[in-house]
Amino acid sequence: METRRVVITGMGAITPLGNSVEEFWNGLKEGRNGIGPITKVDVSDFKVKLAGEVKGFDPLNYMEFKPAKRMGLFSQYAVAATKEAIEDSGLDTEKEDPYRIGVIVGCGIGCMQKHEKEIPKFLAGEKLDPMYIPLVIANMASANIAIRFGLKGKNMDVSTACATGTHCIGEAYNSIRLGEADVMIAGGTEAAITATSIRGFAALTALTSETDPDKASRPFDKDRSGFVLGEGAGILVLEEYGHAVKRGAPILAEISGYGVTNDAYHITSPSPDGSGAGTAMKIAMTNAGLNPTDIDYINAHGTSTHHNDLFETRAVKYALGPAAKSVSINSTKSMTGHLLGGAGAIEAIVCVKAILESYVHVTRNSFEGEDELDLDYTFGRGKTRNIDNCMSNSLGFGGHNASLIFSKVKA
């Protein structure tokens, strides 16, 4: 069966660097730090003091009061980013067949804020909020988007920890390729800066206890000490190429490849030899009909943890071979922290903007690798370079690996 081309026609973002795609991208280009002291939780007794918080977000700028009240914060972020993405695409949903527009938007954790409010009530034998379950379940970001914009096609929530956003975009890409939809709203969201999340990740020794924001998230640097928790959402409008052309849509980039594997190794650590993630990259390149030398830029998972950065570097070398030395690599998490389920989605937006503006942003706070960390991680400053094809990688707890390839659109 002939597969169909998939392009990106709109994008929306809620991030620690700004609550729009342009604010987010400009922050990255300027090398601004979206990481700072935690204000949403009293961390006076916690070792972890820093996070990448969303600032100045008001859900009523994007939706009415009643539906906003019935959404967890992660759903509010997703609906807000979707509003920007649909407006950016120029898509008039009222003129489209609603059964041909689907949604795949995931979340890694769900609404931890509501859990923290309701569980003490439960333990005290008090009545629970009737909206408790609808507020916390992870599929509600995707469901609320469909309800808000009247989208009746395929609707799913892929939840694969830190690979969630990338998997959602990849599965939406496949849905269009295979003819299940003409348009898909895809991405990821997370709002997990809560006491439980912070203490839970800290118990895993996954979070840095650094108190200086400029030394906290240091992907691929020899002094990296753990990741910084972030929050927000990224949403893309994916569209079948002919459908986009017919309606005169702004075509930003093409999704040309998607690869998925599992390490089947450990619940939190990637495979040490990089073969799992590396194979996902190879599958994505094969899917796109590209060779390693065709990849100009990789937006790495780059969490600033010892294992991830080392094993992801090995994965890049496994997949690209000698070409790994000439590709530009960076980590957006150096400025936003780790958005968990939303990470791959905002990083997909970075890939599209990088193609459009021929620019690779700096990996902030990082200056010197060690031993095997000897690739071009864009330390020190960003760079201008032509980008025809870029790859975005995500590695999730449980061994979930996903790679997407974005390309300049050719007629």
- In the numeric block, the tokens 């987010």 are attached to 24
Active-site residue list: 162, 301, 338
C-alpha to C-alpha distances, 27 to 47, 356, 363, nearest whole angstrom: 28, 16, 13
Of 30, 29, 33, the residue nearest 17 (C-alpha): 33
Tokens of 77: 């972020």
Torsion angles phi and psi, residue 14, rounded to 5: -125, 115
Tokens of 18: 């700004």
What's the one-letter identity of residue 251?
I
What's the one-letter identity of residue 307?
H
Tokens of 157: 């929530």
H helices within 178-258, ranges in order? 195-203, 241-246
CA distance 192 to 113: 8
CA distance 160 to 263: 13
CA distance 398 to 87: 36
- In the numeric block, the tokens 């620690």 are attached to 16
Torsion angles phi and psi, residue 180, rounded to 5: -75, -20
Q: Cβ–Cβ contacts within 10 Å for residue 35, how many?
A: 29
Spatial neighbors of 42 by CB under 8 A, at least 6 apart, are 195
Q: What is the CA radius of gyration of the chain?
A: 20
